[in-house]
Structure 1
Amino acid sequence: MISSELNSDNNGHLILGGVDSVELAHKYGTPLVVYDVEEIRKTINSFKSSLDSTCLKYEISYASKAFATVAMYQVLKQEKLHTDVVSGGELYTALKAGFPANKISFHGNNKSREELEMAVDNKIGVIILDNFLEIKLLKEILEEKDTSINVMLRLTPGISAHTHEYIQTGQVDSKFGFDVQSDQDKEALQQVLAIPQMKLIGIHAHIGSQIFGVDGFVGLANKMVEIAADWKKEFDYTPQIFNLGGGFGISYTDEDEPIGANVFIDKIVSTIKEQTKSAGLPLPEVWIEPGRSIVGPAGFNLYTVGSRKDIPDMLSYVNVDGGMGDNIRPALYQAKYEAVVANKMNADIDEEVHIAGKYCESGDILIDKQALPKTEPGDVIAMLDTGAYGYSMASNYNRNPRPAVVFVENGKDKLVVKRETFEDLTRLDEDYI
């Protein structure tokens, strides 16, 4: 979201979901994570509209790792979405929120026996198998419990997205999935088809994250049809579902040029339609897994300005009361953000500064260069587009409590995650002497 697109009131205060962000900072304290729920719903509906126009069966599976709380799953349930989880903790949270188990898929490259048992016991919709050990473990569990479950195979198709190396997942050299180049996919297929307790409903691949071009997805769609045609010929098996993962990019700064959901979906679906027809295959159901694109633009981190360091002939450091503990992305892979002064939206831009966190690391710089009005202690900084992988990757580094989370919608605010206390930090500690 570009700062010029933001709303402010007559007092020059940033308005989020119809609520004064400065009042939110005063009411709940900072650092504070705020989500505009209307923005989340709007993005979900844009995906639905684009997929409805294809006349194909589809599923939008929200990628929980972007942001997973009870309240978030409840919004997803209201919007009748599917969701994918990647841990027992995400699965537990979804179930606690009352999210329907049959609308959950379970990812992960190293699922434990306990996590697989949890998924089977709760009769989730599908387990996405990632490796040979997992096939063996799940087979044992299903036989012991005398039950069955839907599965997909996650493949590494040898396609790399143009993104940061840490968030590329479709290339051959990846920790995820069965490698297609070396025929691991065929070995996995044969093993699963030989297990009556597993119903193989489709194939999955994910090529990366924060992707701005359609070429990778077109390549993936082509590859999936190629694989399906090969499997049909060699093993007389045709996948019912093509799950093309997520990774749709969003705009963090003016440098980013994201493509609309309709463009991605039109190219993906048109490719699948053309290639399946050419290969003599039936049209599959299409699944996508947006995460960042749903919650990223809807999230804001609010901080209070504290101290400042001025250095002759260099950018000043404006220090805030949060940092890498509530948003590790800038330090982890040099992610870029924009920010505004929430209580000075109408003020003239006066300087460029570093926005620095309070953590005891020189690398705790939230934004390396940001144009702002002149700031003072007590001002409220709003960091934009922080809804994905900020709170979900938050830590207690330096023994700092994690922030509260508030949902805003239609002029109302609701606390959905309480701020951790110092007591919470020691709650699991045990005495040694």
Structure 2
Amino acid sequence: MTSSDITGAAGGEPYGPTETAARREQAVRAAVRQGLVGPADPVIGLLDVADIRASAAGLRAAFEEVTAPGTPVLHAFAVKAASLVPVLALLADEGLGCEVASPGELALARAAGVPPSRIVLDSPAKSVAELREALALGVAVNADNAEELARIDALVHTAPVTSPLGLRVNPQVGGGTIEALSTATETSKFGVPLRDEGARAWLVRAFLDRPWLTRLHAHVGSQGIPPELMARGVRETYELAEEINDAAGQRRITALDIGGGLSVNFASDREHPTHREYARTLRHAVPGLFDGRYGLVTEFGRSLLARHGTVLARVEYAKTAGSRPIAVTHAGAQLATRTVFAPDAWPLRVAAFDAEGRPKTGPVVEQDIAGPCCFAGDLVARGRPLPRLESGDLAALLDTGAYYFSNHFAYNSLPRPAVHGFVRTSRGVRFALVRPAQTLDEIVAESGGDRPGALRSI
């Protein structure tokens, strides 16, 4: 089966928690029966295709409810959240574009068949070569700072430009519960700081002097940012756009890129907040944003994919230490990097399955779920109450559809696992290979295996 075999799965409204969990359990059993996971392949990723489609449809519907008819809206998926070409192609089928932040991500979006007109380039460190390529393709670009804007000045004067061009601002409205993901703090590295002395006047003049500069971009942060704070940042950006247009005496700013960053509830199957709830929060906070005068761009990532992925890892050994049961699995920091190093900010639910892929039953005991990496802190869960896991059982890390498959940490040269998409049919579960497991030969090759004597020759 190829990825094209699953493009006919139905979209529509997001499935409820019970239906999603039932499909996940059926997929785990099928993965075991079909030999996708086992002693030879002890860790894999699973992606629920029907839920991904439904999530994309739900996002589109959420903003259609609050925007004036005919308003141009581009939902550009944040590629860093799931940098897998088949995923990007699936989302493109559902009407989404791509937000990219590197030459690699741009190449992935293009490989997925996403047209340049539906790609947005954001990055705080774009090189001249990156900017030149984006402008030549017609990809939208959001400049991050004054120096980058000067580079674009030089480029637009040397060749015709069709790319929508914007400027990122930092509304400086504050941070959320995860400092590293809060991008609208007073000293954030992103964008032009809106409240710094002289910055607002500089921004107005920058747009008045450049008729080709037609967008404003802001992104308050991601996980840990409450929707109300995100809406405050959007409102600050909208008010700046109004000020610029008033100063220009015409509609100079024609579109606002409001970023993404909606948080995910990792505590249960309940989706909260939803894209619909956030869209309504925005409409209440910034009603003028939706009256049809401005086009909109969004950049959601985690909130679209997280809930629809599962890491399935075989328990290699079951042991105890200090009377604490420990299940040693093949999924640790190499996949769940943030969870291992910042467990309070990135907790994951763990589900227990037996060796046949059936939900595990029996007395619940507190146990640690450990990974394969060679350091003591490689634990994806500590003291977690679960039916006791034994060798050959399976530990499922839930809500891992975003970042866990695209931010591999090559500790101990552990290979990237295979990722499979699945759909449920009347005949059972069908799988499509999204990405094959990394081979040992590939690990050796990317580690300089073709030049073992390189350092001896100098």
TM-score > 0.5 by shorter chain: yes
- Asked if residue 207 in structure 1 is aligned to residue 216 in structure 2, the reply is no
Q: Distance in 2 between matches of 1:135 and 1:87?
A: 18
Shift of 1:41: 0.8
Distance 1:276 1:339, change over 3 A: closer
Task: For residues 137-174 of structure 1, give each alpha carbon's deviation from its aligned partner in whole angstroms, at most 9, with x where no partner exists.
Answer: 22333334443421111110011242300110112210
- Asked if residue 69 in structure 1 is aligned to residue 78 in structure 2, the reply is no
* Partners of 1:19 and 1:413 within 8 A in 2: no
- Aligned partner of residue 209 in structure 1, secondary structure: coil
Q: 1:131 aligns with which of 129, 132, 145?
A: 145
Shift of 1:391: 1.7
Could you list the runs of 5+ residues in structure 2 that have no partner in the other structure? 1-14
Q: Distance in 2 between matches of 1:86 and 1:333?
A: 24
* Partners of 1:67 and 1:387 within 8 A in 2: yes
Distance 1:332 1:350, change over 3 A: closer
Q: 1:420 aligns with which of 406, 427, 438?
A: 438
Instruction: Please say which of residues 157-166 and 18-27 is displaced more in the overlay.
Output: 18-27
Partner AA of 1:270 in structure 2: H
Quote the residue 1:49 is aligned against: 61
Quote the residue 1:15 is aligned against: 26
- Aligned partner of residue 16 in structure 1, secondary structure: helix
Distance 1:148 1:47, change over 3 A: closer
Distance 1:374 1:205, change over 3 A: same
* Partners of 1:2 and 1:253 within 8 A in 2: no
Distance 1:104 1:17, change over 3 A: farther
* Partners of 1:17 and 1:408 within 8 A in 2: no
Task: For residues 87-144 of structure 1, give each alpha carbon's deviation from its aligned partner in whole angstroms, at most 9, with x where no partner exists.
Answer: 00000011112111110000000011222222122221x1011012211222333334
* Partners of 2:17 and 2:269 within 8 A in 1: no
- Aligned partner of residue 247 in structure 1, secondary structure: coil
Distance 1:390 1:226, change over 3 A: same
Shift of 1:191: 3.5
Where do 1:112-131 residues align within 5 Å? 112-124=127-139, 126-131=140-145
Partner AA of 1:336 in structure 2: P
Quote the residue 2:7 is aligned against: none
Distance 1:107 1:21, change over 3 A: farther
Quote the residue 1:224 is aligned against: 237
Q: Distance in 1 between matches of 2:339 and 2:164?
A: 38
Q: 2:349 aligns with which of 338, 352, 367?
A: 338
Q: Distance in 1 between matches of 2:79 and 2:244?
A: 31
Shift of 1:27: 9.9
Q: Distance in 2 between matches of 1:94 and 1:191?
A: 30
- Asked if residue 247 in structure 1 is aligned to residue 261 in structure 2, the reply is yes
* Partners of 1:212 and 1:258 within 8 A in 2: no
Where do 1:342-357 residues align within 5 Å? 342=353, 343-357=357-371
The alignment-based identity, stated in percent, is 23
Quote the residue 2:404 is aligned against: 390
Instruction: Please say which of residues 299-308 and 14-23 is displaced more in the overlay.
Output: 14-23
Could you list the runs of 5+ residues in structure 1 that have no partner in the other structure? none
Q: Distance in 1 between matches of 2:40 and 2:114?
A: 28
Quote the residue 1:268 is aligned against: 282
Where do 1:348-367 residues align within 5 Å? 348-367=362-381
- Aligned partner of residue 39 in structure 1, secondary structure: helix
Shift of 1:418: 1.3
- Aligned partner of residue 93 in structure 1, secondary structure: helix
Distance 1:100 1:274, change over 3 A: closer
Quote the residue 1:93 is aligned against: 108
Q: Distance in 2 between matches of 1:384 and 1:255?
A: 9
Shift of 1:44: 1.0
- Asked if residue 106 in structure 1 is aligned to residue 125 in structure 2, the reply is no
* Partners of 1:17 and 1:409 within 8 A in 2: no
Distance 1:80 1:418, change over 3 A: same
Quote the residue 2:333 is aligned against: 324
Quote the residue 1:168 is aligned against: 182
Shift of 1:276: 8.7
Task: For residues 42-81 of structure 1, give each alpha carbon's deviation from its aligned partner in whole angstroms, at most 9, with x where no partner exists.
Answer: 1111111111112332222211110111101110211111
Quote the residue 2:6 is aligned against: none
Where do 1:122-201 residues align within 5 Å? 122-124=137-139, 126-182=140-196, 183-191=198-206, 193-195=208-210, 199-201=212-214
Task: Give the TM-score normalised by structure 1.
Answer: 0.89
Distance 1:379 1:191, change over 3 A: same
CA RMSD of aligned residues (A): 2.7
How many residues align? The count is 422
Partner AA of 2:442 in structure 1: D
Task: Give the TM-score normalised by structure 2.
Answer: 0.84
Distance 1:188 1:110, change over 3 A: farther
Task: For residues 370-419 of structure 1, give each alpha carbon's deviation from its aligned partner in whole angstroms, at most 9, with x where no partner exists.
Answer: 22212211111111001111121102221111111111123311111111
Partner AA of 1:149 in structure 2: S
* Partners of 1:127 and 1:152 within 8 A in 2: yes
Q: Distance in 2 between matches of 1:228 and 1:192?
A: 10
Partner AA of 1:426 in structure 2: V
Shift of 1:309: 3.2
Distance 1:38 1:17, change over 3 A: farther
* Partners of 1:73 and 1:97 within 8 A in 2: yes
Q: Distance in 1 between matches of 2:80 and 2:192?
A: 21
Q: Distance in 2 between matches of 1:123 and 1:395?
A: 33
